[in-house]
Structure 1
Amino acid sequence: MTALYTDWRTVPEQARGAILALGNFDGVHLGHAHLLRTLHAARPNTPLGVLTFEPHPRELFRPEDPPFRLSLSAERRDALAALGVARIFEIPFDREFSTLTAEQFVNDVLHTALGARHLACGADFAYGHRRGGDVATLAIHAEALGIGLTIVPALTDAGGPLSSSRIRRALLDGYPERATEELGRPWAVRGIVAHGDKRGRTIGFPTANISLGRHLEPARGVYAVTIRLPDGTVCPGVANIGRRPTVNSTTESRMEAHLFDFDADLYGQELSVSLHTLLRAERKFDGLDALKAQIGLDATWARDYLRALPAS
Structure 2
Amino acid sequence: MRTIDQFTALPDAARGLSIALGNFDGVHKGHVQVIRSAAKAASAKKCDLGVAVFHPHPKQFFMPSSAPSNLQSAAGRARSIQNLGAKVFYQLPFDRAMSLMSDADFAQKVLHEGLGITHVSVGENYRFGRDRVGTATSLQALGQQFGFSVDAVPLAGGEQRYSSTRVREALQAGDCETASSILGRLWSVEGRVEFGQQRGRTIGVPTANLSLAEYIRPRFGVYAAFAQIEGEGPVLPGVVNIGTRPTLEGKEERLEMHLFDFTGDLYGRMLDVSLLHFLRDEKKFDGLDQLKNQIGQDIKKAQKLTHAYLQVDPTGSS
Do they fold alike, i.e. is TM over 0.5?
A: yes
The SS at the match of 2:61 is: helix
1:187 Cα shift? 0.5
- CA 1:96/1:191 → structure 2, altered by over 3 Å: closer, same or farther? farther
Q: What do the CA deviations read for 1:242-292 (whole angstroms, capped 9, x no partner)?
A: 121111253x32111112222333233321111111111111111111111
CA contact (8 A) 2:18 2:41 kept: no
Find the residue that maps to 2:275 and give its secondary structure: strand
The 5 Å alignment of 1:1-312 reads 2-44=1-43, 45-65=46-66, 67-158=68-159, 160-233=160-233, 234-250=235-251, 252-309=252-309, 310=312, 311-312=314-315
Displacement, 1:38? 2.4
Counterpart of 2:219, as a letter, is A
1:59 match: secondary structure: helix
- Structure 2 unmatched runs, 5+: none
The runs of 4+ residues in structure 1 deviating greater than 6 Å are none
How many residues are treated as equivalent by the alignment?
309
Which runs of no fewer than 5 residues in structure 1 stay unpaired?
none
**SS of alignment partner, residue 190 of structure 2:** strand
Q: Tell me the TM-score normalised to structure 1 length.
A: 0.92
- TM-superposed deviation, 1:304: 1.4
User: Does the C-alpha gap of structure 1 residues 149 and 304 become closer, same or farther in structure 2, counting only changes over 3 Å?
Assistant: same
CA distance in 2, matches of 1:288, 1:277: 25
| Root mean square deviation of aligned Cα | 1.9
CA gap 1:207/1:23 in 2 versus in 1, 3 angstroms: same
Pick closer, same or farther for the CA change 1:203–1:94 going to 2, 3 Å: farther
Query: Structure 1: which amino acid aligns with 2:198?
Result: K
How far 1:10 moved relative to its partner? 4.5
Alignment deviations for residues 131-155 of structure 1 (CA, whole Å, 9 cap, x no partner) = 2322233223222110111111222
Letter in 1 for 2:284: K
Distance 1:307 1:77 in 2: 31
| Residues 1:232 and 1:115: Cα distance change in structure 2 (over 3 Å) | farther
CA contact (8 A) 1:224 1:279 kept: yes
Identity %: 42
SS at match of 1:8: coil
Residue 154 of structure 1 contacts residue 161 of structure 1 at CA under 8 Å; is this kept in 2?
yes
1:67–1:215: 8 Å Cα contact kept in structure 2? no
Structure 1 residue 54 displacement after superposition: 2.7
- CA separation in 2, counterparts of 1:147 and 1:59? 30
